Amino acid sequence: MHLHSTNPATGKTTKTFPSLQPDKISGVLNDVAAAQTFWSNLDYGQRKVYFQSLAQVLRQFRDKYAHLITEEMGKLLQEAKSEVEKSAWGCEFYAENASAFLADEPITTDAACSYVTYQPLGTIFCIMPWNFPFWQVIRAVAPAMMAGNTVVLKHASNVPRCALSLEEAFREAGFPKHAFRSLLITASQTESVIANEHIAAVTLTGSTAAGRKVAAMAGRHLKKCVLELGGSDPFIVLNDANISFAAEQAVTGRFQNTGQSCIAAKRFILTEAIADEFIARFADRVKQLRCGDPKDKLTDIAPMARADLRDTLHEQINQSISMGAKLITGGTFVQSPGAYYTPTILDHVRPGMSAFDEELFGPVAAVIRAKDAEEAAKLANQTQFGLGASVWTGDSAQGEALAKNIHAGSVFINGIVKSDPRLPFGGIKQSGYGRELSHYGIREFVNIKTVWIK
């Protein structure tokens, strides 16, 4: 089996890598487990220096890494640069805060002294996606390693060069050898890694289908896992919202990263009174978006990461139209090399259609009309997913009240849903379980140990 690095803008494969054989995999896992003893014995101040150095490396080579991201998964170059910068911020955040997040907690009991302490589990297996090939890795790895764990990465099979570059960045930052390693393996080789005695826990960001498989594998081997899976985030616009502002933000919220984000706005739920005005403004902006070379500053819509993903998206659109959805704009392949798809809006989307029931992982907005705020919340919750949501209103108190009734891991009022190292990130229902980021994320892969002294 081989892993291919293919440029989505041209469809040309630039490099091919053989997947590791079982003996090589075993050797890497042995090395990373051995490195964990040394790494866990460092204090927080010592680990902090390493992650501060990694942040410096990411910034120093930002343009190189950004070009690699663009060439391997198709992201707009400016977005790729922002991703590398955000990854540096994530390193610095945990470097500065890990010691406070994991400080011993005294608890008054009948003992002379009792407290809770946090200790690393060992080696964590990180299975990461292609859509944010640097940030997704750093946001999982930085807290896990600052807590004293070592990490083995299985990156998405279409971004092998990003995987190797991340390992290179850790080396450049001076990390102990084998504290972080990338495994170039296929999905079929995943369970053998999870089963390995050196793996203490698993974290996965990916599709709901992948999450079910990994959860089952981890369960068979009694290993904890954290799952950050798909989403079909509602973007709820109420009667009193600033329609012009909401429509402008909707363009970014849906089409950033060519719509290939788990927390991208996907279902636009509009109250009837403002629906036509919002759609007119939204469609006007979307029709102006330009598909093209992701390295060109004038390009708005980059290619999708793979041609097969584009084909699946097109099938979802056609199924929805066959059931009564109205195509406002887009819905076609771009007649050029690469996995391009025109930015698309579907109106009159209803439950039962693919555009409502499934995740649309690409540049397609599904518009749903609601009678009022109450029905909007009901439609928002009528989904298997529960990752993020946003509410747009002129009354923040009304938005906050509505937010409490929406089933999601996060709700943003008058703002686009985003990940932030300071805030916990994750979902409910079929969007997974566990949390990344903030102090909640760093406590996922530690032994929360009680110490009681008489």
Q: Do β-strands 12-18 and 2-7 pair in parallel, antiparallel, or remain unpaired?
A: antiparallel
Farthest-apart Cα atoms in the chain, separation: 75
Those residues with Cβ within 8 angstroms of residue 84's Cβ, 6 or more apart along the chain or in another chain: 58, 59, 62, 65, 66, 69, 134
Contact, 366 vs 213, CB < 8 A?
no
Helices 62-73, 160-172: axis angle to 10 degrees equals 160
In order of 27, 51, 276, 318, 417, the CA distances from 234 in angstroms are 45, 36, 18, 21, 10
Those residues with Cβ within 8 angstroms of residue 101's Cβ, 6 or more apart along the chain or in another chain: 439, 442, 443
d(CA 318, CA 331): 8
Residue 227 identity (one-letter amino acid): L
d(CA 417, CA 358): 19
Of 195, 204, 186, the closest CA to residue 223 belongs to 195
Of 136, 49, 125, the closest CA to residue 90 belongs to 136
Of 139, 213, 148, 185, the closest CA to residue 22 belongs to 185
Of 227, 219, 201, 224, the closest CA to residue 433 belongs to 227
Question: 3-class DSSP state for residue 446?
Answer: strand
* Residues comprising the chain, all counted: 454
Catalytic residue among 162, 225, 262, 291: 262
Quick one: which H or E segment has residue 444? none
Question: 3-class DSSP state for residue 55?
Answer: helix
Per the annotation, the verdict on 225 as an active-site residue is: no
Catalytic residue among 71, 72, 92, 228: 228
d(CA 370, CA 414): 19
Per the annotation, the verdict on 228 as an active-site residue is: yes
> 275: which 2 tokens?
């629906």
Q: Where are the beta strands (DSSP E) in 51-173?
A: 105-106, 113-120, 123-127, 150-154
> 354: which 2 tokens?
């693919």
DSSP string for 356-368: HHS---SSEEEEE
Residues annotated as part of the active site: 228, 262
